[in-house]
């Protein structure tokens, strides 16, 4: 006799529910009770969950039907999704593989000076450039140069794509309040959903051997800040200046290119900095789905309890993070300075 | 009188979602407070009818909240009116298409802002050349015109500075140079000098008058400062709570305030510095020039300079000349009477 029986009969639904004649045990507790020959005696008033309601009424779902339903629904939609998404995302695989090949094929005596030169060009700061050179050589010294380059190539591709898509999306959001209202919850979802959780549908959709699998995961996670800060940056542009642009007859494109984007640039750069940091965080988790790089060594450290391997790779990631952060931050302050020169 | 360059007629602006629906209440005479209390809409402008003549400085004056900044933004439709007509150079601004409006903003009206509103990431030269580059002129032309006007407002040598490196007064000079580079017949100046300190403000007023003497633009100037208004205005419009309290020649308003509100305003003014001989002289009605005159004065001399000249002696009298022509006589006793505001003197000053 289940607790909610009275409820259903009071509502006149006993007929609709049907008789609960099957005595299949629903839970371990039921099983134990059956074995013991007594009725399972639950708490005084069980919480109205699907399982508890099912005990009184056969028509009600069981909780496992919910998860099953999601899975079946997803599997049913999979062929259609795959035919659409596969070709669209295929270039991502090519880009990731291409970048990986390029970063690995490039001899170190070209690659390292090139990276140092890029840091100098972006930051124009001597301490930052020296730090970059020393860090890369340190990584090379412990034979982590190759994996570090793999990680860097993934970040390079994913950040570029995030910026290419994120900035226009941010601009569109800043123009339309309605779009902003509908996109913001989606961004919140992407940012708060545990990273492992959105790996799951991706694994179903794409083969684990395809590099776009981790590419998509990283981009979905890392694109959020650049969208948010582009939107914010454009919305924060001084309204007086916008009014002046209107008063002198600028059209929308002129306003965007000459006024809004330049004035929002510090915020957009801050967004790009965050995007780089988040793709680095994600690239480690993505090693679970075959992303190469430093993350693989961290994973090995955990799986085989190889303490040293894990910690060296971890420190390598920290170094890489500091390099990327300092260079992009230095670039950011440089951009800011051209705004207000005193 | 010639056709005015800018004509505002029956202009209403109500801020709020249902502005068109509550318009008839205002047209039936509902005031600002009632409208806000009963319908939750804010009355911005209430039946504005103003003609602005070509080549004149029209000053719109009022305290904050009187709708003066709202008014100036209607001329180039930065704010859309609820009802009314805005005719600029014989063309109804309300009928313009989006392109037509942009064109009008580029070619007909330039604007100077209270907070300067320069582009912080561009040099002074590029800021001043902005109106031309928006029209699609090539860089050489933009830079040449910009440099010319920067020089004219006294900023040569600062072309490659950024706005943040300049003082407020200099930034506003860039703002004026930008408006001049646009080379539009109409200049809208929204409290252009209000953010500057008094000495610099006086400098800028002199600069504007000097430029106006040679350029003859049609300037619409917004201010909350009566001294500034009286100094600059050819035509003065006084706004209060969104309607025009009085408009006309500034000297005339000063001597004949039509409303206690304006009397209040003008009572604090240094009248000797603002009033000019032409406003208080006795016109020469075909009579002979009096023989006992102490000298000749110009119609545009201020009363202050007359007091200095007579040494404060009220028994003096002068012959007033407009160029070579004798146009009237000035009795110092009358001059002293004119210095006393009407409110203070009751009927005394006006009995003659």
Asked whether the predicted pLDDT for residue B251 surpasses 70, the reply is: yes
- Residues A290-317: what's their mean pLDDT? 91
Q: How close A236 gets to chain B, by Cα (Å)?
A: 14
Tokens of B98: 């989006």
B31-35, B222-226, B266-270: the lowest-pLDDT one: B266-270
ipTM for the predicted complex: 0.83
Q: What predicted TM-score, i.e. pTM, was given to this entire model?
A: 0.81
Residue (of B275, B112, B270, B117) closest to B182 by Cα position:
B112
Tokens of B57: 């400085």
What pLDDT is stored for residue A29 in this prediction?
64
Q: Which of B106, B120, B190 to mutate to test the interface with A (most CBs of A within 10 A)?
A: B120
Q: Which helix (H) or strand (E) holds A230?
A: helix A211-235
The answer to whether residue B106 neighbours chain A at the CB level (below 8 Å) is yes
What pLDDT is stored for residue B274 in this prediction?
81
B349 or A107, higher pLDDT: A107
Contacts of A341 in chain B (CB under 8 A): 162, 164-165
Using an 8 Å Cβ cutoff, are B307 and B314 in contact? no
- Of all residues in chain B, the one with the smallest CA distance to A265 is B121
Q: Which of A249, A252, A336 to mutate to test the interface with B (most CBs of B within 10 A)?
A: A249
Tokens of B31: 């005031």
Q: Looking at residue B311, what DSSP letter applies? A: T
CA dist A98 to A112, A115, A212, A213, B160, Å?
A: 19, 18, 12, 15, 45
**pLDDT tens-digit profile of A163-220?**
999 999 999 999 999 999 999 999 999 988 888 887 888 888 888 888 899 999 999 9
What pLDDT is stored for residue B348 in this prediction?
44
Subunit contact B164:A240, Cβ cutoff 8 A: no
Using an 8 Å Cβ cutoff, are B249 and B237 in contact? no
Using an 8 Å Cβ cutoff, are A176 and A234 in contact? no
B124 or B337, higher pLDDT: B124
Residue (of B120, B123, B121, B122) closest to B160 by Cα position:
B123
What pLDDT is stored for residue A337 in this prediction?
59
Asked whether the predicted pLDDT for residue A143 surpasses 80, the reply is: yes
Subunit contact B164:A341, Cβ cutoff 8 A: yes
The answer to whether residue B222 neighbours chain A at the CB level (below 8 Å) is no
Contacts of A238 in chain B (CB under 8 A): 117
Subunit contact B119:A241, Cβ cutoff 8 A: yes
What pLDDT is stored for residue B350 in this prediction?
43
- Of all residues in chain B, the one with the smallest CA distance to A262 is B121
Asked whether the predicted pLDDT for residue A335 surpasses 80, the reply is: no
- Sheet bearing B235-240, strands edge to edge: B109-112, B186-190, B218-223, B57-61, B235-240, B243-248
What pLDDT is stored for residue B31 in this prediction?
83
Q: Which of A240, A247, A262 sits opposite B115 (nearest CB)?
A: A240
Asked whether the predicted pLDDT for residue A82 surpasses 70, the reply is: yes
What pLDDT is stored for residue A304 in this prediction?
93
What pLDDT is stored for residue B347 in this prediction?
44
What pLDDT is stored for residue B332 in this prediction?
84
Q: How close A53 gets to chain B, by Cα (Å)?
A: 51
What pLDDT is stored for residue A225 in this prediction?
96
B90 or B127, higher pLDDT: B127
**Across A3-17, A198-212, B236-250, B267-281, which has the greatest mean pLDDT?**
B236-250
CA angle A99, A102, A108 (to 5 degrees): 130
Q: Give the pLDDT band (50/70/90) at residue B262.
A: confident
What pLDDT is stored for residue A263 in this prediction?
92
Helix (H, G, I), strand (E, B) or coil at B93: helix
Average pLDDT, chain B: 87
Tokens of B122: 């561009």
Asked whether the predicted pLDDT for residue B276 surpasses 70, the reply is: yes
What pLDDT is stored for residue A210 in this prediction?
86
Contacts of B164 in chain A (CB under 8 A): 339-342
Q: Work out whether the CA dihedral A173, A176, A177, A178 comes out positive or negative.
A: negative
**pLDDT tens-digit profile of A19-58?**
655 555 556 666 666 666 555 455 677 888 888 888 777 7
**pLDDT tens-digit profile of B38-61?**
888 988 898 899 999 999 999 999
Rg (CA), chain A: 28
Q: Which of A240, A249, A338 sits opposite B103 (nearest CB)?
A: A249
Share of chain B above pLDDT 90, in %: 41
What pLDDT is stored for residue A342 in this prediction?
46
What pLDDT is stored for residue B352 in this prediction?
39
Q: How close B191 gets to chain A, by Cα (Å)?
A: 13
Contacts of B109 in chain A (CB under 8 A): 247
Asked whether the predicted pLDDT for residue B67 surpasses 90, the reply is: no
Contacts of B105 in chain A (CB under 8 A): 246-249
Contacts of B183 in chain A (CB under 8 A): none
Distance CA A291, CA B46 (A): 68
Contacts of A251 in chain B (CB under 8 A): 102
**pLDDT tens-digit profile of B278-316?**
888 888 776 666 667 778 888 888 888 888 888 878 888
- Of all residues in chain B, the one with the smallest CA distance to A254 is B134
Using an 8 Å Cβ cutoff, are B75 and B237 in contact? no
The answer to whether residue B100 neighbours chain A at the CB level (below 8 Å) is no
What pLDDT is stored for residue B289 in this prediction?
67
Distance CA A207, CA A217 (A): 13
Burial B317-350 (b: 16+ CB within 10 A, else e): bbbbbeeeeeebbbbbebbebbbebbeeeeeebe
Pairing, β B6-15 against β B243-248: unpaired
Contacts of B134 in chain A (CB under 8 A): 248-250, 254
């Amino acid at each position: 006799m289940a607790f909610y029986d009275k409820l259903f009969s009071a509502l006149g639904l006993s007929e609709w529910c049907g008789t609960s004649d099957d005595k299949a045990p629903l839970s371990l507790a039921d099983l134990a009770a059956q074995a013991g020959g007594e009725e399972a005696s639950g708490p005084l008033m069980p919480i109205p969950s699907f399982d508890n309601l099912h005990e009184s009424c056969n028509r009600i779902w069981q909780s496992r039907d919910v998860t099953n339903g999601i899975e079946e629904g997803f599997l049913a939609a999979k062929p259609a999704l795959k035919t659409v998404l596969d070709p669209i995302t295929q270039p991502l695989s090519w880009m990731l593989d291409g970048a990986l090949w390029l970063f690995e094929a490039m001899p170190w005596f070209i690659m390292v000076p090139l990276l140092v030169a890029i840091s100098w060009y972006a930051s124009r700061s001597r301490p930052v450039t020296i730090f970059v050179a020393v860090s890369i050589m340190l990584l090379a010294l412990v034979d982590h140069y190759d994996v570090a380059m793999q990680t860097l190539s993934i970040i390079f591709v994913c950040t570029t794509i995030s910026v290419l898509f994120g900035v226009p999306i941010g601009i569109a959001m800043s123009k339309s309040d309605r779009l902003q209202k509908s996109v913001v919850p989606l961004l919140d979802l992407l940012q708060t959903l545990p990273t492992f959780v959105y790996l799951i549908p991706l694994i179903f959709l794409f083969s684990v051997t395809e590099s776009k699998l981790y590419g998509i995961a990283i981009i979905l996670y890392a694109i959020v800040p650049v969208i948010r800060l582009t939107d914010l940056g454009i919305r924060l542009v001084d309204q007086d200046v916008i009014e002046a642009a209107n008063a002198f007859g600028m059209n929308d494109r002129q306003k965007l290119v000459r006024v809004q984007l330049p004035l929002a640039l510090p915020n957009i750069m801050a967004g790009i900095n965050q995007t780089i940091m988040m793709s680095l965080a994600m690239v480690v988790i993505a090693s679970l789905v075959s992303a190469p790089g430093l993350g693989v060594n961290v994973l090995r450290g955990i799986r085989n309890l190889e303490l040293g391997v894990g910690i060296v790779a971890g420190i390598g990631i920290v170094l890489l993070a500091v390099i990327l952060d300092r260079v992009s931050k230095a670039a950011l302050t440089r951009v800011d300075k051209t705004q207000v020169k005193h | 009188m010639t056709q005015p360059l800018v004509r505002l007629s029956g202009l209403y602006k109500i801020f709020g979602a249902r502005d068109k629906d509550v318009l008839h209440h205002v047209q039936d005479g509902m005031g600002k407070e009632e409208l806000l209390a009963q319908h939750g809409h804010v009355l911005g402008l209430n039946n504005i009818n103003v003609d602005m003549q070509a080549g004149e400085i029209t000053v719109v004056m009022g305290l904050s909240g009187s709708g003066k900044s709202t008014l100036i933004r209607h001329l180039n439709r930065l704010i859309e009116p609820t009802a009314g007509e805005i005719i600029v150079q014989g063309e109804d601004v309300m009928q313009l298409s989006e392109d037509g409006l942009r064109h009008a903003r580029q070619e007909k009206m330039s604007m100077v802002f209270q907070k300067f509103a320069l582009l912080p990431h561009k040099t002074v030269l590029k800021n001043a050349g902005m109106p031309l580059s928006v029209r699609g002129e090539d860089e050489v032309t933009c830079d040449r015109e910009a440099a010319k006007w920067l020089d004219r407002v006294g900023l040569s040598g600062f072309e490659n500075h950024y706005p943040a490196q300049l003082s407020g007064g200099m930034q506003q000079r860039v703002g004026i140079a930008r408006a001049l580079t646009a080379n539009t017949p109409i200049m809208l100046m929204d409290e252009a000098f209000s953010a500057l300190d008094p000495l610099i403000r006086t400098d800028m007023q002199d600069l504007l008058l000097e430029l106006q003497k040679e350029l003859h633009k049609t300037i619409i100037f917004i201010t909350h400062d009566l001294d500034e208004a009286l100094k600059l205005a050819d035509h003065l419009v006084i706004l209060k709570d969104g309607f025009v309290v009085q408009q006309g020649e500034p000297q005339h308003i000063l001597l004949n305030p039509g409303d206690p509100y304006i009397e209040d305003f003008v009572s604090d003014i240094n009248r000797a510095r603002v009033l000019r001989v032409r406003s208080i002289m006795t016109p020469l009605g075909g009579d002979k020039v009096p023989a006992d005159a102490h000298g000749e004065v110009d119609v545009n001399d201020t009363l202050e300079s007359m007091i200095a000249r007579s040494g404060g002696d009220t028994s003096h009298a002068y012959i007033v000349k407009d160029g070579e022509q004798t146009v009237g006589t000035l009795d110092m006793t009358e001059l002293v009477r004119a210095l006393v505001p009407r409110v203070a003197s009751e009927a005394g000053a006006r009995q003659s």
